[in-house]
Amino acid sequence: MREAATLQDALRDGRVFAGGRAARTHEGLPSGNGAFDDALPWGGFPRGALTEVLIAADGLGELSLLAPALARLMCRERIVLVAPPYIPYAPALVRAGWPLARLAWIDAPPERAPWVAEQCLRAGCLGAALVWTTGGDERALRRLQVAAEDGGSFGFAFRPARHAANPSPAALRLLVDADAAGAIRLRVLKCRGAQPPSTAFAPARTH
C-alpha cells in the first residue's frame, strides 16, 4: 500500500505528465452540451459536490442529460443508482455507452435512500452516486453534500420540481421541465461561486 501511495504522490506532482490526461483536482465533468458547460464555473458538473436535478415529471430526458458525462466517468470509475423510480433498463444503458460492469443498482426503500447515497458518496470508491428521493428534507441533502465533499465523488439527487422554491445546500441546482409547447427546458437555479445563467438551455434529445 505504501508504494501505491508514493506513486500517487508522484502523479500529483505538477511536473509529471500523465499521458494526455488533464490534471484532476476539482475539475468539472463536461456534460457534452457546450453552452451549458460554458455557463458553469466548473465547465461541467462539479466533483466533490452535490448536483440537484429537479424534475417536473419522469421521462423528460433527465437521465439522458447526464448520460454522456457519466459514460465518460465510467471508463474508469464505478457509479451507483440508488432507489431509481423504475427499472434501469440495461439495453438502453448499453446504448448510452454505459459499461454495465461499472454500474450497480441499489434497491432501497425510499426512507433509506438518502442514507444509502450518503454511504456511497462518503466511501470514496465510487465515481458518482445518483439518488432519487421525493422528500423535502434539507438536512438529508446537506448530509449528501458533505459526503460528496468527503468522498470526492459526484453526487446527483433527483427530486420533484415542487422543491424548487425551497433552499438547498447543493452546489448546482438544475430544473428540468417542459414549456407550454412541450419542449424540454433546462434551467440552472443555483450554481455555487457564480451567477446562474438566466437563459434556459434546450437539451438535445436523441432518444
DSSP β-ladder status, 79-82 and 128-132 = parallel
Minimum distance from residue 106 beta carbon to other proteins (Å): 5
- Nearer Cβ to other proteins, position 43 or 61? 61
Cell readout for 15 is 511536473
Integer CA distances (angstroms), 75 to 66, 70, 79, 97, 159, in order: 15, 9, 10, 10, 27
- Nearer Cβ to other proteins, position 180 or 195? 180
Name the amino acid, one letter, at 160. P
Residue 14 near other proteins by CB under 8 A: no
| Overall residue count recorded for the chain in this entry | 207
Minimum distance from residue 1 beta carbon to other proteins (Å): 10
- Asked if 52 contacts 170 with a C-beta cutoff of 8 angstroms, the reply is yes
Residue 10 near other proteins by CB under 8 A: no
Angle at 143 between CA 142 and CA 146, to 5 degrees: 85
- Asked if 49 contacts 145 with a C-beta cutoff of 8 angstroms, the reply is yes
Q: Which of residues 39-68 bind other proteins (CB under 8 A)?
A: 56-64, 67
Q: Which of residues 164-203 bind other proteins (CB under 8 A)?
A: 177-179, 182-184
Backbone angles phi, psi at 80, to 5 degrees: -125, 145
Minimum distance from residue 164 beta carbon to other proteins (Å): 16
Minimum distance from residue 114 beta carbon to other proteins (Å): 13
Residue 143 near other proteins by CB under 8 A: no
- Nearer Cβ to other proteins, position 151 or 155? 151
Residue 146 near other proteins by CB under 8 A: no
Going by C-alpha positions, the residue among 176, 181, 182, 171 that lies closest to residue 201 is 176
Cell readout for 92 is 438502453
Residues that bind other proteins (CB under 8 A): 4, 7-8, 11, 18-19, 21, 24, 56-64, 67, 76, 78, 84-96, 99-101, 103-108, 112, 116, 119-120, 122-126, 150-153, 177-179, 182-184, 205, 207
